């Protein structure tokens, strides 16, 4: 069974840092691009970042560029999101999501984790 399990969320003060993890099982992790998508309380979905299967290519939303870093460890089947200089507007549920297409960077997300909540508040 394909599973994505996020962890690392919590409460942090503005300007602080958090590292999210997404442990993956049930598919060949290194063959798929992976992404982070967030959802502020009561709001819609917003794409945050994507990383290629090899980890060699990344892309970011302008709102997080320079503050967030996506990475992956294919030997550990784990995706990461390092979040620095956090702002109140970063408060959201963060989902990791698997790309639909094997061996490519597609952008449709067929499997999602259950999400982890990040709250940025003083």
Partner 1 sequence: EIVLTQSPGTLSLSPGERATLSCRASQTVSSSYLAWYQQKPGQAPRLLIYGASSRATGIPDRFSGSGSGTDFTLTISRLEPEDFAVYYCQQYGSSPYTFGQGTKLEIK
User: Nearest approach, Cβ of 44 to partner 1 (angstroms)?
Assistant: 5
**Distance from C-alpha of 28 to C-alpha of 101, rounded to nearest angstrom:** 12
Q: How far is the CB of 122 from partner 1 (least distance, A)?
A: 27
Q: Between 17 and 57, name the residue whose CB sits nearer to partner 1.
A: 57
Pick the closer one to partner 1 by CB: 50 or 78: 50
**What is the nearest approach in angstroms of partner 1 to the Cβ of residue 106?**
7
Start-to-end C-alpha separation, the chain:
40
Coil, helix or strand at residue 109: strand
Query: For binding to partner 1 (CB under 8 A), which residues are involved?
Result: 37, 44-47, 50, 59, 61-62, 95, 100, 106-110, 112-115
Q: In what order do the strands lie in the sheet with 18-25?
A: 3-7, 18-25, 78-83, 68-73
Nearer to partner 1, 16 or 55 (CB): 55
Q: How far is the CB of 13 from partner 1 (least distance, A)?
A: 27
Buried-exposed string 62-77: b where 16+ CB fall within 10 A, e elsewhere:
eebeeebbbebeeeeb
């Amino acid at each position: 069974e394909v599973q994505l399990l996020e962890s690392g969320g919590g409460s942090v003060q503005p300007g602080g840092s958090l590292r999210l993890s997404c442990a993956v099982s049930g598919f060949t992790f290194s063959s798929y691009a992976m992404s982070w998508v967030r959802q502020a309380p009561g709001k819609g979905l917003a794409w945050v970042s994507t990383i290629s299967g090899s980890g060699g290519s990344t892309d970011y939303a302008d709102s997080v560029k320079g503050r967030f870093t996506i990475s992956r460890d294919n030997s550990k089947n784990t995706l990461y999101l390092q979040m620095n200089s956090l702002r109140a507007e970063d408060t959201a549920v963060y989902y990791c999501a698997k790309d639909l297409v094997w061996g490519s960077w597609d952008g449709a997300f067929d499997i999602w984790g259950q999400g982890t909540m990040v709250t940025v508040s003083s």
